[in-house]
Amino acid sequence: MSLQTIFGEAKTFLDNLHNEREEVIRICRDINSHSKKLIFSVHRASAHSPNRAVVENHLKILAEKLATLYYGYAQNESYYSYKGTVSNCIEELIEALLFAYYLAHRTLLSFENLQYIVVFLIQSYNYETKQANEEPLANCIDLLLFQPEKTPQIDPQNRSQFAHMSNSVFLPGDYFMGIFDFTGELMRYTITEMAQRDASSVGISPDVLGNLQFLRSLYSHVTLLVSKYPHLNVSRGTFTTDKKQTATLRKKLEVFRQSVEKVESAICGAAINGNEPTMASVEEL
């Protein structure tokens, strides 16, 4: 075999690898962009009722991107080298899903149900025919917005495929980091809700107080976990105890603390500035 042939094959391999990397980056940018749009749409929705049609439109686009990422690239040997890029956009997606779920149900979306939602999204787009699959998409929306207690049942024969689908897209560490980002959105939503509240209305709404209680409870659980594992961090969706990589999680935890304090300050400010009837509720918190 001549040197020209050897280097020609190497060039072809590297070119294909470069093209694959660029395509994965493009898909991840699209996932990130449409996740942000979903968050924005949920912010604009009325309390307790994110608009199904708007959410569905964003989920259809996200389904196409996730299916392309899974079927087109997750099976390749080089996929792990892109995991850092994938994790960044998936954290944004997880943030959007957690936020939409919370506003619909006022509780945290579990890791298990997040797995179901992501797998349903992947199954909502037929990668070969480039057509939408309506049933998985409907299951996804029902679980996300309307029927949280209806946990899907997975055929034992399909459990390995289910696990591979979800693990190829996100890992427990991605979920954990997405929770931090979600709390920032909930803080902004809560303060905006207070600012838009009718000036003639008396008291602070139960939803606002409930949001603060939720944030405080979640923060206490996270700080307990971090205090037990002081070197805990997440790298490419995987938990690690590498001391050199703890800065990211610590920074997110500090931002989380600031979010809780901002909501507390806003509620206390509202109580002091004319909502005296709610002072008892604030003191109970």
Mean pLDDT of 198-219: 84
Most confident of 142-146, 147-151, 186-190: 186-190
Q: How far apart are CA 132 and CA 138, in angstroms?
A: 11
Domain layout of the chain by residue ranges: 3-170, 174-274
Which CATH architecture best describes the domain 3-170? Up-down Bundle (1.20)
Q: Could you read off the pLDDT of 167-198 as tens digits, one per residue?
A: 889 999 999 999 999 999 999 999 988 887 65
pTM of the model: 0.89
Which pLDDT value is given to residue 246? 62
Higher confidence at residue 160 or residue 124?
124
Fold adopted by 174-274: Methane Monooxygenase Hydroxylase; Chain G, domain 1 (1.20.58)
pLDDT at 245: 62
| Token pair in block for residue 113 | 């149900």
What pLDDT sits at residue 282?
A: 46
In this predicted structure, the answer to whether residue 280 has a pLDDT above a threshold of 70 is: no
Residue pLDDT, tens place only, 49-99: 677 888 999 999 999 999 999 999 988 888 888 888 999 999 999 999 999
Separate counts of helices (H) and strands (E) for the chain: 10, 4
Residue of higher predicted confidence among 158 and 84: 84
With vertex at residue 120, the alpha carbon angle to CA 110 and CA 136, rounded to the nearest 5 degrees, is 130
Mean pLDDT computed over 241-267: 88
Q: What is the mean pLDDT of the chain?
A: 86
3-170 and 174-274: identical CATH topology: yes
Terminal-residue alpha carbon distance, the chain? 77
